[in-house]
Structure 1
Amino acid sequence: MTSSTIILAFALMLIVEGLFPFVAPDRWRQSFRKITEMPSGQIRFFGLAAVLLGLILMLLAD
């Protein structure tokens, strides 16, 4: 994995992360508010699920 690949992956992450607040800022704000009210364990579960899904996708793409 070269540094340009890492930079491209980071850029893609920023694009995907920025789409929702750009397209629907009010709904993004509501979603973010709901997330802050969730218990820490539930947030950790979603974080772990996202990490595992990302790892699986990386393995499949390789």
Structure 2
Amino acid sequence: MGIILLAFGLVLIVEGLAYALAPSLIERMLEMLRALPEAARRQVGLLSAVSGLILVWLAYHLGV
């Protein structure tokens, strides 16, 4: 359970820094996402989830 809290905390730190340091960039990225078709957004989401899963698997096998 502790590792899940750690991962969630790291995500919040990265997301919070992005919003704090570059809010206009976040707005432009959201506009670009809105312009994409729904199927493309689903593919981006799936790619992100699979990438995250690979990173978690890699960290687990490296003993982190």
Give the alignment of 1:43-58 within 5 angstroms: 43-58=41-56
Counterpart in the other structure of 1:5 = 3
| CA distance in structure 2 between the aligned counterparts of 1:46 and 1:5, rounded to whole angstroms | 25
Q: Where in structure 1 do 4 or more consecutive aligned residues deviate above 6 Å?
A: none
Shift of 1:26: 1.1
Secondary structure of the corresponding residue to residue 53 of structure 1 = helix
| CA distance in structure 2 between the aligned counterparts of 1:37 and 1:48, rounded to whole angstroms | 18
Aligned length: 60
Matched, 1:32 2:30: yes
Stretches of structure 2 lacking an aligned partner (at least 5 in a row) = none
| CA distance in structure 2 between the aligned counterparts of 1:58 and 1:8, rounded to whole angstroms | 12
The two structures have a TM-score, normalised by structure 2, of 0.82
Shift of 1:24: 1.0
The two structures have a TM-score, normalised by structure 1, of 0.84
